[in-house]
């Protein structure tokens, strides 16, 4: 059975290590915060200018001067620091953030990411996504393995404008986990009960299968 | 004392001309110049090129300038949820130049810091790289991005002293400090003006050299785009 | 807690190797890492390329590393008054690369900020421009300067919390914040380590993300190069 | 009679206007501070990272963390702010400082400045001088009109390594004042009692004479 969206977030949380600085994108990635193991100390960055993002505020704590990159009201953790957009993206582009976890529209077999243009809708802009994928040490992408109409989202070539070319390190879909090395995808893990046959059938991208493939019967 | 102005209209009056380029700090509706933007609206100045990360929403922030069709071109990273914007764009009345958020910030920094252009990895292999110079450093490909400057920069800070030294509050800092450096003239709107000597010299975010005029904002609504909260814990 | 180290020797021990590149903040003797530099001296690590604005004086700061001939090359803007330095340089034992002070600072910033290179006006028409790419922007000539990075950066701050958030004091800030960003590993020496939450989040100069290890300096002599004073006013 | 060094500083102070941000070089330029008119508010910048330099400290105020670019102990004025070397030179290079007043070894007729290499001495480096002359809005140079051996210091071409090419806006020597426009020098003022003949004889550089030349009999 495929992973649920919460299980995607839970699987992504396993990529986090003690002391990591992490940027979480809008959507499913924000749920990762619920699955960070208690014994691990992770600092969340928000690209509008802070390190040490805390949980949502209680209703009487809401502060208009304290929002995250998704423009939602947040709180600060005790170790928080604030800085300008220039300093924030110097940090991102300079490779100081350990992991960025992002959503995707399409992913290509060479690790290209397309997540800023939604077909048929007006282009609203890439925000900080291009900077994040170009700069962060490890880019983890979470997405449904297929679109609602069943069409593959992990494809040979993205036919949507790219956010970054060959930038993805790890792709976690509802059916499995792919690692990218030298812009070559390798299937390393299957969601419980998902067969190699099933994931192959539902994928357009070429990929190799790890000799250490993790496969759990449901 | 000579930098302080009585209100937003007086502060901007002689600085505005049709066709000018204006930078405005802010991220979404956080750290925007409510009073100065209102003065822009009232002035009717038009054919503006506006450099800002976003363009407000329909009735708030830079969005209000769209009602009088004052903006000709936006240079931004994300448009936001803005129906009038979408309409004017689809009608071809409004031009947009998208710049990735970090590149946008860095281009403004370059403008203020005497850097003509810089090589960045951001956008390589995307439409953003089209037509730009590519160059390989240490085996990695970079693209050349150029500086941005403005005739006028509008910034919002928490406190200013009369010298123009500014302190921002939390994530309302965002693009404000960099845009303060890249305007030919920079006007700051603050919540409180304090005496010289009240701000800690080690804690000043924008030195007064960058600030030409200051107003104390008459209204500080500070609207919030998305209020997200958690429940109070059980007692 | 995991960033704090007992002393300067423990903090540096496993990070040093001959031939490495080290950045060190400081301007003259102001804001230098007395204890960490001493640990470098004691370690005997050699063939160093050192990137710093100056090289201390004979017996203080980076100058002490010259006594054991640990430095192979200096990248700096001004050598300062240093007899041993002069001697080793004239003997051909020491290589110098001069970079104008602002260009030096900007090259370190580029290294830390993911900018491969940038165009500046500084040095156009001088020996600094020799062999560098020239390009005209808006009728003015600029030269291309490239990023600097280091295997290890040493910085001095006033206070740190256990997360590594740093606050500097007065002009002892200088090159320290930028060098904190451009080292593969960065070690901070501070006068006082405080608990998490004691530093004002809006007033932090270097966020902890840039700091890998922290020591509280055992000695803080803070020597002064030129003491200049005025007379007390008549009572 | 030629201007004394104090009179050079005094003449340079006349270039300052209310509200100006000013960088003063080492040597004679530091004396300019003694001649700033009381009714004018000028903010001094020190390129090691501060605006609002105050006077030297009283002996019990000396602070090792508070020095100027000449590495001398100083104090802060009430409106002072501190910043990093990066931000300091962003300010300088970005054209935000109104005036820099500097010393010189040689000046050429096209406004070239040579002040960082002393013949016969080891090269110690240019420090922040190249950044200042490239970035500051107005560059004012103060120097003796001739060297100790009588040789001209205002020359056709500098035979010393340059600090900047065509960067000088105003040259104040012990004999007079020259303004540079389009890299062409124009004599606009003579020191009291100095004749056009004398300054011409003691100058190697080509210059034009202003039709509004200020000439005061001694």
For A23-51, what is each residue's pLDDT tens digit? 999 889 999 999 999 999 999 999 999 99
CATH code for the part of the protein at C8-121+148-216: 3.40.1080.10
Which among C106, C170, C201 is the nearest to B202, CB-wise? C170
Question: Of all residues in chain A, what percent carry a pLDDT higher than 70?
Answer: 100
pLDDT at A217 over 90: no
Identify the chains in contact with A, defined as 3+ C-beta pairs within 8 A: B, C
C197/A78 CB distance under 8 A:
yes
Work out the minimum CA distance from C232 to partner chain D, whole angstroms.
6
How many folded domains does chain A comprise? 1
Q: Which of residues 157-196 of A touch B (CB under 8 A)?
A: 161-166
Token code pair at residue C207 = 């966020």
C113/A82 CB distance under 8 A:
no
3-state secondary structure at position B143: strand
Would you give the distance in Å from CA D185 to the centre of its chain?
16
- Domain with D140 in it: 5-215
Parallel, antiparallel or unpaired: strands D184-190 and D176-181: antiparallel
A135 and chain B: CB distance < 8 Å anywhere? yes
Q: Which of residues 24-53 of C touch D (CB under 8 A)?
A: 27-31, 53
Q: Which CATH number fits the domain that encloses residue D109?
A: 3.40.1080.10
Work out the minimum CA distance from A84 to partner chain C, whole angstroms.
10
A128/B100 CB distance under 8 A:
yes
What's the pLDDT at A121?
Answer: 86
A and D interact (at least 3 Cβ pairs within 8 A): no
Would you give the distance in Å from CA A133 to the centre of its chain?
10
The rounded distance, in Å, linking the Cα atoms of C220 and C61 is 12
The rounded distance, in Å, linking the Cα atoms of B114 and B134 is 22
What distance, in Å, lies between the first and last C-alpha atoms of chain A? 7
Mean pLDDT of chain B: 96
What's the pLDDT at D13?
Answer: 97
Q: For residue B49, what are the contacts with CB-CB under 8 A and spacing of at least 6?
A: B20, B21, B22, B71, B72, B73, B74, B75
D47 is catalytic: yes
What's the pLDDT at A120?
Answer: 84
| Tens digit of each residue's pLDDT (9 = 90 or more) over C35-75 | 999 999 999 999 999 999 999 988 899 999 999 999 999 99
Nearest CA in chain C to A131: C114
Across the B/D interface, how many CB contacts are shorter than 8 Å?
60
A95, A137 Cβ separation under 8 angstroms:
yes
Q: What are phi and psi of C113, to 5 degrees?
A: -110, 10
D76 and chain C: CB distance < 8 Å anywhere? yes
Token code pair at residue B191 = 């919540």
C153 and chain D: CB distance < 8 Å anywhere? no
Nearest CA in chain C to D61: C229
Nearest CA in chain B to D21: B209
**Closest to A128 (Cα-Cα) out of B73, B28, B78:** B78
**Closest to D48 (Cα-Cα) out of C169, C93, C172:** C172
What's the pLDDT at C1?
Answer: 53
Which among B101, B109, B171 is the nearest to A66, CB-wise? B171
Q: Indicate which residue of A45, A47, A76, A186 is catalytic.
A: A47
Which chain D residues are within 8 Å of C109, Cβ to Cβ? 86
Q: Which residues does chain D have with pLDDT short of 70?
A: 218
C202/B167 CB distance under 8 A:
yes
| Tens digit of each residue's pLDDT (9 = 90 or more) over B147-170 | 999 999 999 999 999 999 999 999
Mean pLDDT of chain C: 96
What's the pLDDT at C219?
Answer: 87
Confidence class for position C81, pLDDT limits 50, 70, 90: confident
Mean pLDDT of chain A: 96
Which among C79, C103, C171 is the nearest to D49, CB-wise? C171
**Closest to A45 (Cα-Cα) out of A101, A116, A115, A1:** A101
Report ipTM for this prediction. 0.97
Which chain B residues are within 8 Å of D91, Cβ to Cβ? 113, 181, 207, 209
């Amino acid at each position: 059975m495929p992973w649920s969206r919460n299980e995607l977030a839970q699987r992504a949380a396993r990529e986090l290590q003690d002391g990591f600085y992490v940027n979480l994108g809008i959507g499913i990635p924000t749920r990762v915060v619920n699955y960070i193991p208690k014994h691990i100390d992770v600092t969340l960055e928000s690209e509008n200018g802070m390190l040490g993002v805390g949980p949502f505020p209680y209703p009487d704590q809401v502060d208009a001067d304290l929002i995250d990159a998704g423009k939602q009201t947040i709180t600060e953790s005790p170790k928080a620091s604030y800085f300008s957009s220039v300093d924030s993206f110097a940090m991102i582009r300079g490779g100081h953030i350990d992991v960025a976890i992002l959503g995707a529209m399409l992913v290509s077999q060479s690790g290209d990411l397309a997540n800023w243009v939604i077909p048929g809708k007006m282009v609203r802009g890439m925000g900080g996504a291009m900077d994040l994928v170009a700069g962060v040490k490890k880019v983890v992408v979470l997405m449904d393995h297929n679109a609602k109409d069943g069409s593959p989202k992990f494809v040979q070539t993205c036919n949507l404008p790219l956010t970054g070319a060959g930038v993805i390190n790890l792709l976690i879909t509802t059916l499995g986990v792919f690692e990218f090395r030298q812009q070559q995808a390798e299937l390393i893990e299957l969601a419980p009960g998902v067969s190699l046959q099933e994931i192959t059938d539902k994928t357009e991208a070429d990929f190799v299968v790890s000799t250490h493939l993790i496969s759990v019967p449901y | 004392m000579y930098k302080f102005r009585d209100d937003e209209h007086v502060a901007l009056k002689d600085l505005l001309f049709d066709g000018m380029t204006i930078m405005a700090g802010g991220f979404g509706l956080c750290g925007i110049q409510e009073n100065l933007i209102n003065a822009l609206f009232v002035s009717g100045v038009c054919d503006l090129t506006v450099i800002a990360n976003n363009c407000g929403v329909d009735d708030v922030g830079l969005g209000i300038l769209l009602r009088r069709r004052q903006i000709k071109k936006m240079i931004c990273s994300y448009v936001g949820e803005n129906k009038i914007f979408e309409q004017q764009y689809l009608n071809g009345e409004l031009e947009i130049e998208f710049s990735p958020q970090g590149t946008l910030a860095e281009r403004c920094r370059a403008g203020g810091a005497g850097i003509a252009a810089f090589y960045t990895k951001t956008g390589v292999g995307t439409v953003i790289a089209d037509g730009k110079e590519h160059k390989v450093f240490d085996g990695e490909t970079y693209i050349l991005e150029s500086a941005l400057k403005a005739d006028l920069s509008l910034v919002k800070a928490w406190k200013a002293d009369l010298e123009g030294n500014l302190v921002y509050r939390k994530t309302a800092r965002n693009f404000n400090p960099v845009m303060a450096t890249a305007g030919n003239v920079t006007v700051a709107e603050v919540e409180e003006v304090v005496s010289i000597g009240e701000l800690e010299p080690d804690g000043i975010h924008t030195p007064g050299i960058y600030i030409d005029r200051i107003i104390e904002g008459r209204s500080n609504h500070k609207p919030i785009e998305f209020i997200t909260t958690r429940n109070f814990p059980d007692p």
